[in-house]
Each structure stands twice: as C-alpha cells, then as structure tokens.
C-alpha cells in the first residue's frame, strides 16, 4: 500500500513495499541510518557493507551525529547511490533523527540528488517509536534543505528537495502515519518561514512590512488581525513603542494576531515578540562590527508569525494571542535620548539610560497590551541581550520566569522539540539594579552584570502577577555558521518549542 499526504506535505510519501520493488531515478538515493555501535545495515549487499566498514576504518565516517556520506552502489542495489547518516550512540532520541535527516539531505543536495528514499527501521535500538521517528525525520529533511535567499545578479544553481519516500514496515495506522508527516511538515515549514523573515535585509523589512505580513497571514489562515499606527500609539498611551520608533523615517506599529479555537475567549495564551526590524542602537550607537546582523533583531516577531501560521493551519482547540511591537531603532534629531523619562501603556515610567536597550521598552507596552486583550499567561520572545551569549553562547535560549510550574511545562516542550532552553535565576536582588531615582524603573543597569537576567526582569515588571516567561534568543536566533538542523543566518529558534507547548 502506498500513500501521499496533503498538499502541505506533497514532498513526502510512504510505502510498505521493499526498496527492490521500485524503479528509482538516477537522481535518487536510498538513505540508511546507523548508530556508532551497530554494524552496517543488514539489508545491504556485502560489497556495500564492506565499503561502509572501509569508510569507518579510514575515519571518514564514524556514524556520529551530523555525519553523512554518499556511496555509489555500482549495481549492487536498485538505487544508484546510497547515503549513510549517523545517529551517534545507540538509543537515538528524536533530535538525533532530526539531525541525521538534516545531514543526509544537505549531503544529497550538494551532490545534485533531489529525491530520497528512507529506510526508517535501519537501526535496531532507538528511544523513539516509529511514528515519532518519522515525524522527526520529516522535520529534519525540511529544516536541513532550507537555504537562504540571495540577491545576486546571477542566482546560484541549486538542487531542491523534490521527493522523500519512506519505506515503513510497522504497518502503523495510516491516519497516524499521515498525521506524523503532516505535523512534522507544519512545524518545519513554520520554522523555515520565520527564518526567511529573519534573513530579510533591513531595507526590505520595516515595521509596516511586518504589519503587512501579519495581515496576509490573517487573511490566508482565518486569523483576526489589528495594527495600530503611530497616531494610535500616541492616543492609547503606548509611549514606550512610540518613543523607540520615533527616530526612524519608518514609523512603529503595534501588531496583533488573534486565534480563537475555543467557544469563549478565556484561558488565553499571550505571545509577545520583539519586532525591531533594524537596531543601530539609536543615540547609544552600536559598534560597526556585527551591526549587519541586526537585521535579525525582529527574530522574536518572526517566531510569532511562524507560530501563528502553524496554528492557522492546524486549528487546535486553544486561544492564542500574538502581540508584536515593531519599530526601527535609528539615531536622528527625533530619536529617544539617554536620560529621557518616558511613560508606558501601564502607566509606569522608564528612565532611559541606554537607547540600545530598546527591545525591553517596546516589550513593556506589548506585555501590557496582551494583558488588556485577555492574556492569562504570557511568553515573550526576543533577541534581547548580548549578555545571554556570554552566559550560554549560541547553544541555548535563556529563560526568566515568575512561575516555576509554567516554566516547567515549557522546558518539557523544548525537550520534545529538540531545542535547547535554559532557565536563569530570578532572585529578588537582581531587581535592585533596575531601580531608578527619577522613574519607576530604568532600562539598563550601571555595570551590566547579569544582563540577560536583569533585561528579562525588566519585562517581568510589566507582566506583574500574570504567569510569564521571557525567552532571550539573542544567541540562538541567528548563527554565524550551520549547526545541527540550523542553517547559517536566521534559525527560527523557539518556533517548534512554542508549538509543542501550544499544540502538544
């Protein structure tokens, strides 16, 4: 029996036949997965097993995580080439399968191979059940096949992923198999969409562009959308966002997307995403080195758009609100200045000691607005600090929360997604550094110690008693080189974690 999924996952199919039953194209490869402790797959001819052993002895392929190699079959297999992908130590979890699939598809595309057939049961010992494995593989293939758009006069020639066919032997129920593939596709597609937004140059993506994209999503997926312009920000008292954005020729926007999957608008999860489409630092101007990476400072907003795209496709029985304060932080004669004292939607005042700590100011209005719109618990996502890089490098997203039970649930979701998330302490003493003598709070500390924590706690002041989690993706939203399932550039970090939390 063979089957194709819906148009959203049209690249993927499955079959209960054996590889020998097919007639593969020359542009097709059969993929096997190996752990480090296991011998070459038993289904292969001895000549190919010997070739794999030879690669191991030559230290070319040791079946480690992220390793993959292409071998010609020389007529010993119906497929013209096979790809072997490493899972690392035996007992591979879902993330190992994602990374193996990403490595396999990258190797295939680099060799001009656009069609893959997959032996999903080629490893004897695994911690993941077949359906979890297929979902993880689907995510890995889509995430690994992502490439960043270029703007060259002569576009580079690229081989695209055309088809993935799973050989399955467990006779799983077709509805569950289809759901595994479909869900993997939606999660990965949402992540790749967030990557595209994050990678868009700042001259092509300003607050109005982000607002237009939100409106497009709303129309495509049946979401509610509202956008407040600079005049409405002034009228409603959203002076945090207004003041950060007033220095740019591109005025700020407050963007709201609403999905109601329950009969009543209650038990609402509020998502708040930083949408700074470019960050020069404002009057507290950044150094030139690395400033080009600030096209990614709207990575939190991009994540939320990706999440809402997936929710619009899946239509779960939940209520979700996405609030994206969007601005461009520029120096000009109108720009916010160090020493200014500004009001916010909450009524609290902020002493601005550093205009490069602007993200937390716009998120203050975003969090308050989410509460006004009915959010009973809030997660904010932001490329907030460079300090999180000092703490965690680019390997993990930092988290600060006022509710341990809420935080525990999100940590479990991150574990399922394969994304790394680390909770930072939120001791009361850290808040002392944010006290101001002229305002309710100041936006930057004197010595910048524990900067990722104090930056998060600044936002927490506006969450007040509402259960709240802050996710600092300052190290994970944009990578300088490819790693695991993530590409160079925008990663879409936390899209899949949030979806695992919301949809389960």
User: How do beta strands 68-72 and 81-86 pair?
Assistant: antiparallel
State how far the Cα of 164 lies from the Cα of 141, in Å rounded to an integer: 8
Torsion, Cα 87 93 96 98, to 10 degrees, reads 130
Active site residue 133: no
- DSSP structural state of residue 41: P
DSSP 379-402: EEEE---SHHHHHHTTS-EEEEES
Instruction: Estimate the share of the chain in helix, then strand, then coil, as percent rounded to the nearest 5.
Output: 40, 20, 40
- Nearest to 29, CA basis, from 86, 58, 71: 71
- Nearest to 359, CA basis, from 298, 306, 307: 298
The residue from 49, 111, 215, 286 that is catalytic is: 286
Contacts of 42 (CB under 8 A, 6+ apart): none
State how far the Cα of 137 lies from the Cα of 165, in Å rounded to an integer: 11
Alpha helix (H) ranges present in 356-427?
359-372, 387-392, 404-417
- Residue labelled with tokens 């996952």: 9
Residue 306: alpha-carbon gap to chain centroid: 8
The residue from 115, 253, 360, 496 that is catalytic is: 360
Contact 126, 92 (CB under 8 A): yes
Active site residue 286: yes
State how far the Cα of 111 lies from the Cα of 180, in Å rounded to an integer: 28
Q: Length of the chain, please? A: 504
Torsion, Cα 400 401 406 408, to 10 degrees, reads 40
User: Which residues are part of the catalytic machinery?
Assistant: 286, 360
């Amino acid at each position: 029996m063979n089957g194709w999924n819906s148009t959203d996952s049209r690249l993927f199919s499955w079959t209960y036949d054996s590889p020998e039953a097919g007639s593969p194209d020359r542009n097709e490869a059969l993929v096997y997965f190996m752990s480090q402790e296991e011998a070459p797959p038993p289904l292969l001819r001895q000549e190919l097993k010997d070739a794999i052993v030879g690669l191991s002895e030559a230290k070319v392929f040791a079946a480690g995580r992220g390793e993959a190699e292409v071998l010609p079959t020389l007529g010993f297999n119906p497929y013209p080439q096979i790809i072997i992908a490493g899972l690392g130590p035996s007992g591979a979890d879902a993330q190992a399968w994602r990374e193996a699939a990403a490595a396999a598809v990258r190797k295939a595309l680099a060799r001009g191979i656009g069609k893959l057939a997959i032996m999903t049961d080629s490893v004897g010992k695994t911690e993941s059940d077949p359906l979890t494995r297929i979902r993880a593989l689907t995510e890995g293939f889509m995430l690994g096949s992502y490439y960043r758009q270029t703007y060259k006069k002569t576009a580079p020639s690229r081989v695209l992923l055309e088809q993935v066919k799973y050989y399955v032997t467990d006779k799983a129920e077709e509805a569950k198999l289809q759901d595994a593939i479909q869900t993997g596709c939606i999660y990965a597609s949402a992540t790749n969409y967030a990557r595209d937004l994050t990678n868009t140059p700042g001259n092509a993506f300003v607050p109005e562009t982000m607002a237009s994209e939100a409106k497009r999503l709303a129309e495509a997926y049946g979401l509610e959308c509202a956008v407040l312009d600079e005049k409405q920000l002034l009228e409603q008292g959203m002076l945090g966002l207004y003041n950060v954005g007033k220095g740019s020729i591109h005025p700020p926007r407050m963007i709201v997307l609403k999905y109601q999957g329950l009969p009543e608008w209650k038990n609402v999860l509020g998502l708040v995403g930083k949408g700074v489409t470019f960050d020069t630092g404002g009057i507290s101007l950044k150094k030139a080195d690395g400033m080009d990476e600030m096209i990614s400072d709207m990575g939190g907003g991009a994540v939320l758009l990706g999440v809402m795209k997936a929710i619009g496709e899946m239509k779960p029985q939940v209520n979700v609100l996405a609030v994206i304060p969007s601005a461009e932080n520029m120096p000009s004669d109108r720009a916010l200045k160090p020493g200014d004292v500004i009001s916010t939607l909450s009524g609290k005042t902020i002493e601005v000691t550093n205009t490069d700590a602007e993200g937390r100011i716009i998120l203050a209005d975003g969090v308050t607005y989410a509460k006004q719109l009915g959010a009973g618990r809030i997660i904010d996502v932001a490329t907030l600090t460079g300090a999180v890089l000092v703490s965690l490098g680019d390997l993990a997203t930092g988290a600060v929360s006022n509710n341990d039970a809420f935080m525990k649930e999100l940590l479990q979701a991150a574990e399922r997604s394969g994304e790394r998330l680390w909770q930072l302490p939120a001791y009361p003493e850290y808040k002392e550094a944010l006290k101001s003598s002229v305002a309710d709070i100041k936006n930057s500390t004197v010595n910048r110690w524990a900067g990722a924590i104090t930056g998060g706690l600044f936002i927490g002041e506006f969450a007040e008693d509402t259960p709240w989690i802050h996710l600092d993706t300052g190290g994970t939203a944009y990578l300088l080189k490819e790693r695991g399932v993530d590409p160079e550039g925008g990663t879409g970090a936390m899209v899949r974690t949030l979806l695992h939390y919301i949809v389960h």
